[in-house]
Amino acid sequence: MLTRHLLCRGFAALTLALITLPAAAQTFMVQCPTSTLLHPNAPTSAAGEPAYTGPTNIAGNAHGVALTYRSNGGAVKCQQISGGDGYMTEGDGNQTFMFSFGPLSGLQKIRNGQPGTDFPDEFRKPYCEGGSYLNGQPNPYSGASCGPNGAVGFVPPVGFRAANVSSAVGVSNGTTCVVTATEPCGVNGFIVNDAGAGYGAPPTVTITGGGGTGATAAAVIGNGSVIEVAPTNPGHGYTSAPTVTLTAVGAVSSIPQTDAAAIMNTGVMNGNIPAPLFGFDEDDEFFLTLTNVGMIMRPDLFETHTVHFHGYPNASSYYDGVPDASLAINIGASFTYYYLAPDAGTYFWHCHITPPEHLQMGMVGQLFVRPRQNRLPAGTDTYLALTGSGTTGTIGTAAGPGQQSDLRTACYSSGESNLRFGATGTPTADILCSTPAPAADSGFTHAAGYKYVYNDGDGSTRYDIDVPIQIHGFDPNFHFVGMTFNPEGFSDMKDKYFLLNGRSYPDTITTGAITTMASDGLQRPSQPLPSLITLSLSGGPGGTPQRAALRISDLDVSEYQTLASLGMPMQLVGYNAKILRDQAGNNLYYTTNSITLGGGESLDVIIDACAVRGPAPAYTCTTPMPTGTYFLYTPNLDHLANDAENFGGLMTEVVITN
């Protein structure tokens, strides 16, 4: 088969093509659906998350089969990341090489310390902000409909354009056939001169002229364009190349195109530590595209990458990111993971290819799932919204619907579950209940703008400010060896830089993104997420003291880590994305000045600018904290250093203002 291809623009794209895969093998794809069977009318960014009013049934049809879906609202969310390499700056000024993930959507959000997760209408705009997230190349896309949080490489669907294909004759089964009247030949190849656009299905192929007969072929499309025409029968009697006619079948395709040059120009050497932050809501459908752009500094490595949501209750191992049970993404390829957001809480994610190496080298990130309770209508009783089991009525009333009406979230902690033995069997306790209701209704009602860590039913996990904190450590010798083509000494791995959100003190309190110069001499944002915590004594609801939710995760490969607070107590409300509450509904939260966690664990901690609060439902502040600066730090003294430099490491500040 003969095929013409357009050369990718940009030196980086050409370099990767030469050292990894031929251009024909690159399969970059940027995708984000505007609706699904579960969300047929997915909301936009302007509309925001829809209110949670209890489960409803949605009638659907899949390939002629009538289906009924149980919907709890939510939305469609999308994000795109790159897998490759990059550099970061340590607290003592040294630069460290990383294997890393970088942002390819939501770039403005990420640079401002926010999750880069988009609604479809945000994602499905080409990125065109310009500036610090480009590697110096001209922005590959220009157009009226683009945005600073759009997807890099996304090209909106275009109108229909007919493809142009010509045929070739002359060689059959390796034997040269001279095209003459006395030695006629079959059709054995096609040249795609113009791939066209907008094909919703493979077009039919008609071959006429050329003096012969019987030749047939089939077209193959990709992203709405004709990428190949393959002979199915060469025919015979052809003395010249026959004419090829393509006839479109069905409706015009709405599939967007992909600009590979844009992805390479932005994605190469664009690694972040921690990796881009994900944040979405319970009941959302999340589409995450990983594009493997390869590693410029290690062209000898044909590293595959995956995304594994650690501790996340994923319904399918296919999207779990463990290569033994699913798949890995090769250089020059993209893959879109699918998740249906389950229980609220703090999770984290990482590459699952040679985990000790790829985690140590920096392929770690964080995500959190916001609870349904955030989306309740104002004035709703949160306890009744959690315990309601009706099928009609208003959520938050005794007879109305609620989370008990939905099989996934129903909890029968009093021993009344029929899930195991059926409706007529012996009731059993639901030991897998993820969010038990409080032991009693405190009367707490939701107000517009309130945020919670969990579906608590009593307002006890309400907070004002999200503070994601990822603990990590780097061994600079391991990273140097990883960059210089030498065998890595796993048994000798020992962290010497200790990081909060990819930074050591005093960089932890530096606002804005930290940029690092890469090997091409260009600056890129490498550590976008500070860990400075600022609380106001009057910034909460009704001018009350603020509360911060510290979403702490540890992805350190070789060390346990401890964080302590001086003069400011921490309330631990969740562990490994589960609320600390027993099956009888008793809160098991505890107040402490020190927490310890190992690699692969997460904690949800609330710090409060109020030292003493009254009981539910008002939680009135009776004793505010004194204004000033407090420290969140590790008491492990050897972790308060940036390699040989003291006064660094795992430490940040909590500032309380008026």
User: Do residues 462 and 450 make contact, with C-beta atoms less than 8 angstroms apart?
Assistant: yes
Provide CB contacts within 8 A for 26, sequence distance 6+. Answer: 8, 17, 260, 332, 333
191 in any annotated domain: yes
Q: What is the rounded distance in angstroms from the CA atom of residue 321 to the CA atom of residue 358? A: 13
Q: What backbone phi and psi angles, to 5 degrees, belong to 479?
A: -70, -40
Same domain for 264 and 318, yes or no, is yes
Q: What is the rounded distance in angstroms from the CA atom of residue 157 to the CA atom of residue 223? A: 9
294 in any annotated domain: yes
324 in any annotated domain: yes
- DSSP code for 544: P
Same domain for 501 and 535, yes or no, is yes
Token pair for 644:
């040989």
Same domain for 226 and 267, yes or no, is no
- Taken in order 330, 336, 341, 345, is the CA torsion positive or negative? positive
Please identify, among 335, 351, 372, the residue that sits at the C-terminal boundary of a domain: 372
Q: What is the rounded distance in angstroms from the CA atom of residue 30 to the CA atom of residue 172? A: 39
164-169 and 187-194 strand pairing: antiparallel
Same domain for 228 and 267, yes or no, is no
pLDDT at 60: 80
Q: What is the rounded distance in angstroms from the CA atom of residue 258 to the CA atom of residue 132? A: 22
Task: Tell me the average confidence (pLDDT) per consecutive run of 10 residues in the chain, 658 residues long.
Answer: 31 32 58 91 91 89 84 94 94 93 93 94 84 45 72 86 90 59 78 90 94 93 88 89 93 82 87 95 96 91 92 83 90 94 92 90 94 96 92 89 84 54 49 82 96 97 97 91 80 90 95 88 90 97 97 91 94 96 90 94 97 95 96 94 88 97
Question: Crossing angle, helix 11-19 and helix 260-267, to 10 degrees?
Answer: 90
Please identify, among 325, 342, 372, the residue that sits at the C-terminal boundary of a domain: 372
Look-up: residue for tokens 């880590």?
Answer: 561
Provide CB contacts within 8 A for 181, sequence distance 6+. Answer: 211, 239
Token pair for 474:
């780097």
Q: What is the pTM of this model?
A: 0.84
Q: What is the rounded distance in angstroms from the CA atom of residue 515 to the CA atom of residue 195? A: 41
429 in any annotated domain: no
Same domain for 188 and 330, yes or no, is no
Token pair for 18:
């030469």
3 state DSSP class of 13: helix
Same domain for 20 and 105, yes or no, is yes
Same domain for 563 and 472, yes or no, is yes
Please identify, among 372, 400, 431, the residue that sits at the C-terminal boundary of a domain: 372
138 in any annotated domain: no
Token pair for 98:
């990383």
Domain CATH code at residue 330 = 2.60.40.420
Same domain for 543 and 494, yes or no, is yes
Look-up: residue for tokens 């089991």?
Answer: 389
**CB-side neighbour CA atoms (13 Å) of 326:** 24
Give the chain's domain count. 3
Same domain for 491 and 564, yes or no, is yes
Look-up: residue for tokens 């493979």?
Answer: 202
pLDDT at 593: 95
409 in any annotated domain: no
User: Do residues 556 and 472 make contact, with C-beta atoms less than 8 angstroms apart?
Assistant: yes
415 in any annotated domain: no
> What count of other Cβ atoms lies within 10 Å of the Cβ of residue 325?
11
Which domain, by its residues, includes 82?
11-46+75-119+260-372
Output Rg (C-alpha) for the chain, integer angstroms.
28
What letters, b where the CB count within 10 A reaches 16 and e where it falls short, cover 162-185?
A: bbebebebeeeeeeebeeeeeebb
pLDDT at 539: 96
Same domain for 536 and 592, yes or no, is yes
Q: What is the rounded distance in angstroms from the CA atom of residue 95 to the CA atom of residue 84? A: 17
26 in any annotated domain: yes
Look-up: residue for tokens 């319904």?
Answer: 315
Q: What is the rounded distance in angstroms from the CA atom of residue 648 to the CA atom of residue 506? A: 6
Same domain for 361 and 490, yes or no, is no
Same domain for 100 and 185, yes or no, is no
Among 337, 390, 395, which Cα is nearest to 367's?
337
